Structure formats: structure tokens, C-alpha cells
Amino acid sequence: MNKFQRELEQDAVAYVEQAKRVAEYDAVLRDSQRDISKLISQTHRVMLQQEEVERTLTGIGAFQTELDSTLDGLENDVDALFGAAEHLSPVDADVERESAYTNAILVEQRLQMLTAQLQDTLGKMAEKQESMLSGDVGKVVQILNQHQNSLTELEVASRQMENDISHVGRILSQH
């Protein structure tokens, strides 16, 4: 009976140790679940902010397209004014040229303000993203943001090339 009693006590001690280990694992699992929930929440917020940035960029892209169109129209108007001003005295042509130059400066200033606002907005978004994300998910988001920035730069360069090619084509067609 004593032998049975000792074995029962040993089994009870082993059971308590196993129960403690299970409780520790359970605590680790609860902490991990809480961390995953926080990460999911942060990821959701970042995705919403990303959508907001994309909407803003789409609006800015539309504004840029409109501005490009306005600049092209302005360029055509200036060319037409110079063509029509050939019979005017140099003083009148100078006034027209000065007016066109002033309009071009105003358009350039608006474009610079828009660019500064965009850079400020993107900077704020980047700061928020950096503060919210860490670990592997943060690294993935940073890589995706770098790819997005590269694509944006390529798109801007492509538009500039298209504008340059268009301008060269207009010049060549006039000669």
C-alpha cells in the first residue's frame, strides 16, 4: 500500500508540473493571439490609410493631367499669339509675350505648391506607417512602398518623355 501511495504522490507531482507547463504554454498562446490581433488591427488601419493615399494620388494625377492639358493649351495659345502678333509692332508682341510668361509662372507656382503638399502628405503617411509596423510585416510594407515609389518615378519620367517627344514632334512639324 505504501508503494502505491508513493507512486500516486509521484504521479500527482508530475501531473502538477505538467499542468504548470500547460498553463505557461496557454499564457504564451494567449499573448501571441493578442499580438496577432493587434497586428491585424494595425495592418487594417495601414491598408485604409494606403487606400486614402491612393485616392489622393489619383486626384493629384487627375489634377496633373488637367494641368498638363492646360499647359499644352497654353503652349498652343502662345504659339498662335506669336503667329498672330507678327504684324504687330515689337511693343505689342512684347506685352503679349510678357502676359504668356506671367501665366506660365503662375502655373509653375501652383505645380510647385501641389508637389510640396504631396511630399508633405507622403512624409506624414510614411512616418505613421513606420511607427505602426514592425517586424516582417513592416519590412514587406516598406518593400512594397519602395516599389510603389519607383513605379511613380518611372511614370513621371515616362510622362516627361512623352511631353518632350510631343514637343519635338510639334517643332519638327512646323519646320
53, amino acid identity: V
pLDDT of residue 19: 92
Q: Note the pLDDT tens digit of each residue in 114-168.
A: 888 888 888 887 777 666 666 676 777 778 888 888 888 888 888 888 888 888 8
pLDDT above 90 (res 13): yes
Confidence of residue 20 (pLDDT cuts 50, 70, 90): very high
Mean pLDDT over 17-41 rounds to 90
Confidence of residue 77 (pLDDT cuts 50, 70, 90): confident
pTM above 0.75, yes or no: no
Q: Note the pLDDT tens digit of each residue in 85-119.
A: 677 666 766 777 788 788 888 888 888 888 888 88
Cβ atoms of 137 and 39 closer than 8 Å: yes
Mean pLDDT over 13-38 rounds to 91
Residue 126, CB-side half-sphere exposure with 13 Å CA sphere: 13
Please count the residues of the chain: 175
Cβ atoms of 156 and 119 closer than 8 Å: no
Q: Is 133 helix (H, G, I), strand (E, B) or coil?
A: coil
Cβ atoms of 149 and 53 closer than 8 Å: no
Enumerate the domain spans of the chain: 1-40, 62-131, 133-175
